[in-house]
Amino acid sequence: MNPMANIAVRAARAAGDLIARNIDRLDRLRVEAKGLNDYVSDVDRMAEQEIITVIRKAYPDHQFLGEESGSQGDHDHVWIIDPLDGTTNFLHGFPHFAVSIALQVKGRLEVGVIYDPVRQELFAASRGAGATLDGRRLRMPPRRSIDGRLIGTGFPFRHPRHMPAYMDMFQSVCMRAGDLRRAGSAALDLAYVASGRLDGYWEIGLNAWDLAAGALLIREAGGMVGDFEGSENYLKNGNMVAGSPKLFHDLLKEIQPHCTPAMRG
């Protein structure tokens, strides 16, 4: 593992330990609404600061794009961080949430780490060096289609204008897939695609910090990621499709007829 990936792992574990220590004190946390169905707690902010502190000790000149702190300026090295992806799950004691950290160098994803503090599972990837789960190499199974497969998704709860189109997508995929899952943490769901626990995934209107680490994990595990046009603009437009190569294209085939102009580009 390269030095920057090691730092990402150290930061993810530090944030995950902080989150785990607060699981039993949910009733004492301060929670604020950032927007429609979008919440932030003290733990989100503390975990993000923990990540930034660890990384800055090693790389004081690098910049950050974080869910809570926003963008801190332009730089060749940008850390894209979600300190607690699945805040709503965490606040309800629903054990599906994760720390997500990615490093982008000159616009290209180089490092991705997703850490589940409940299961203490660490997913990690470095560009060109493969993806691992707790040190074991990940290789996605070569699924040919979505028929009979387990597909993950996320509801566009922050973007209700997309709900009619999303429900049409849901119906099209559901008619062919073996089953669908909506667990509430896009980062962890993408890690599950990379590890073969889910066969594919799609969602509308995510943010870069939800997607970045998981996208690299899937690519390094032999899969494909793209937006609803099949292009690599997913970090900008927030629309994500993922799966092994043939399943990826099959999933796109079911989704694309229901895309609206607002989802494209």
User: SS in 3 state form for 118-142?
Assistant: CCCEEEEEECCCEEEECCEECCCCC
**Mean local confidence (pLDDT), 139-157:** 96
* 37-74 confidence digits (pLDDT tens): 555 678 888 899 999 999 999 999 999 998 767 666 66
Q: What is the pTM of this model?
A: 0.94
Pair 203, 192: CB distance under 8 Å: no
By CB neighbour count within 10 A (0-12 exposed, 13-18 middle, 19+ buried), where does 73 fall?
A: exposed
How far apart are alpha carbons 71 and 263 in whole angstroms?
Answer: 24
**Mean local confidence (pLDDT), 98-106:** 97
How far apart are alpha carbons 169 and 46 in whole angstroms?
Answer: 37
* Percent of the chain clearing pLDDT 70 (strictly above): 93
| Residue 149, helix vs strand vs coil | coil
Pair 100, 19: CB distance under 8 Å: no
pLDDT of residue 158: 84
* Percent of the chain clearing pLDDT 90 (strictly above): 80
* 122-132 confidence digits (pLDDT tens): 999 999 999 99
DSSP tally for the chain: helices H, then strands E = 8, 15
* 169-209 confidence digits (pLDDT tens): 999 999 999 999 999 999 999 999 999 999 999 999 999 99
pLDDT of residue 265: 57
Per-residue pLDDT for 31 more than 80? no
Q: Name which of 1-5, 64-68, 156-160, 171-175 the model is least confident about.
A: 64-68
Nearest Cα to Cα of residue 97 among 203, 19, 179, 165: 19
